[in-house]
Structure 1
């Protein structure tokens, strides 16, 4: 089963170290073209900055990796950014750390810590999700059955993808392949057979990751 881990949303965060501003901009991307476009947009947004260092990873297994120190001493910017992305096991994203030099040199060690910290900080702010390949099913029920079904789905920690209220209630849920049969039987029995259970399409259900321990 394919799965991925990435940020919950695009974002930006700033830290200041010895008068230098480090602005980390992070975004989900699916191709090198998208990554380069985001990089260029960031450069234009912070056009007067001293450096725009970056790293990105693409693919379920991060088959493509790129990084740049953009004028900082070799190994002090791009590599630390990429290292954070790798340690967090993230896929399909780019992080650009823009630096406005504050006049005080940080040294190699200081730069490595600064770029690592800036990257970790923006990831913490944006949050993480795990994309799990599952099957989506649509359930159609009568209104009076809704509290019963809702309680069951909550107890079983089944994710509701969408709910539509028309003449009846339609609820889309995500299920793993190995839980489909049992879930269908349980719901059918629970609602005395008064439920339509229709398979829609496979896709990725994104589940929030509460902390980095969940990444192991």
Structure 2
């Protein structure tokens, strides 16, 4: 898995001419990894993530150097997903360079994964997808973007988001994108009847408002 994440991070720095080639271009490597895992039929694979390591796979974040380029005006925020069919929880949905967190995170309060599903475009389970969803039950906190005690990191320009109300879903406890220890997870936003990933968050594990206000909830992310 460590080699897979290293490959994904290097690959995400490339600029593809055809954005929809993002998953097909790594399908051969994914098939080899699946064979090594004993699941050559692709049942362990889900749009660039592995079901056996799904929580770490979900903990991707745009690379700090990419963020620096955006801040300096050298690169715009990604205008949207690289491929509309890729679910928002996959790193492949982000049109930019990414890093993975989650290694060494405590799993004591990690969410329970109920199901992971993807819909391949064709017969290749490692190629393009036309959708996907993941259902988890875990600690959540409904918040406003303006709440100061939570640190929110958005995958796109926050000014372009349709709402300021978000749901924070905890993935684990450990090193966060800003290199501090705390509770870390996904930032979700309702899009019609579904939830989609819009970023990540971190908060001090001892933060009273976070501890008092969070609750167990089942979410479905597409």
TM exceeding 0.5: no
Indicate the structure (1 or 2) with the bigger Cα radius of gyration.
1
Q: Could you say which structure has the higher helix fraction?
A: 1
Choose between structure 1 and 2 for higher RCO, CA contacts under 8 A separated by at least 6 residues: 1
TM normalised by structure 1 equals 0.24
TM normalised by structure 2 equals 0.23
